Amino acid sequence: MSSQRVHSAQHTVSVTAPAGVVYGLLADAPRWPVLLPDFVHVERVDFDGTEERLRLWHLRHGQVCSALVRRVLRPRERRIEFELQDALLPGAPTSGTWSVASDGADRCLLTLRHERPAEPRQTSEALASGVRAELAALREAAERWDRLDELLLSFEESVYVCGAPELVYDFLYRIEDWAELVPDVEWAEVTEDQPGVQTAVLHTCAPETGETLVSEAVRLCFPAAGRIVHKETVTPDLLAAHYGEWYLEPDATGVRVVSTHQVMLRESAVEAVLGAGALLVDARRHAREWLGRSSTEALVLARWHAESAVRRLR
């Protein structure tokens, strides 16, 4: 029998958003990486309309951690029950319930009831502090609900490559070489303390101004699937969040290479970055052009890398 201490608690916050909006945010876990700072990537493993399993990658004490979560969604009651099936502390999975209760037309109460293992030497206050930070992030995301159509931006770029998928993936994986290959990248540093989990720091040249922009990102590399997921942890001023993916779609003659982007704009920085009088519509156009151009340059170079290697082998 385990002697692991279990911490049980309940926390409630008031949220200035309709209850349905807050429940929708909790239920739509694959969108969390662009809405919640600590989530790097969320994949829905299976879903039957009520019960689902999610694979989560999130930042914990600065490290990328992964967990498999089982959830039961109860939209009529606005309640979600969850259990971590392979938690960071084996044998003592975290479990609990999220619930949302209306508190007027545009306000609700968000409650988290949970049980989680207490780590050695970790106090109840330390555990509570982490939960409060998670609730604060959810509240901040939900309270933007009436602005999300303007603040969120999603798009993709793609190229077709007449070459081997392995060569394309190799180019995208070796981001530390991009300073010598990609025009906008001035400097790059990559560490990979866990296999397939990269931390990248990039210095890029800003369009129009020529200013150096510094970004840091976590990259999850899935070579067997031909995918690299990336989430910026330090973003340029205009972006509150930036999450995306490179993925390959091979066929009989080559491979389609796609770069996707999901962006949350930082409204308070729009005029500071783009000038007095600039609006969110200007920020959307600027981010679309800037990020689109950067990813297209990388895609074109990935194509050159793969196709030139094929020509050399002939």
Secondary structure (DSSP) of 31-55: GHHHHSTTEEEEEEEEE-SSEEEEE
Residues 152-172: what's their mean pLDDT? Answer: 95
93: which DSSP letter?
-
Reported as a pLDDT band with limits 50, 70 and 90, residue 8 is confident
Q: DSSP assignment of 95-124, as one string? A: EEEEEEEE-STT-EEEEEEEEEEPPTT--H
Cβ proximity of 94 and 112 under 8 Å: no
Strand pairing class (239-250; 227-234): antiparallel
Cβ atoms < 10 Å from Cβ of 272: 12
Q: How far apart are CA 122 and CA 61, in angstroms?
A: 13
For 275, the 3-state DSSP assignment is coil
pLDDT in tens, 259-283: 999 999 999 999 999 999 999 999 9
Determine the pLDDT at residue 132. Answer: 86
Phi, psi of 173 (to 5 degrees): -70, -40
Determine the pLDDT at residue 207. Answer: 63
Determine the pLDDT at residue 199. Answer: 95
pLDDT in tens, 192-227: 988 999 999 988 877 666 778 888 999 999 999 999
Q: How far apart are CA 167 and CA 169, in angstroms?
A: 5
Kindly state the helix (H) or strand (E) to which residue 217 belongs, with its residue range: strand 212-222
pTM of this structure: 0.89
Residues 84-92: what's their mean pLDDT? Answer: 59
Cβ proximity of 163 and 307 under 8 Å: yes
| Tokens (6 digits) for 4 | 């692991």
pLDDT in tens, 281-301: 999 999 999 999 989 999 999
Report the length, in residues, of the chain: 314
Cβ proximity of 97 and 45 under 8 Å: no
- Nearest by Cα to 216 from 204, 232, 203, 229: 232
70 burial via Cβ count (<10 Å: 0-12, 13-18, 19+): middle
Q: Please list, in sequence order, all residues whose beta carbon lies within 8 angstroms of the beta carbon of residue 3, skipping any fewer than 6 positions away.
A: none
Cβ proximity of 33 and 243 under 8 Å: yes
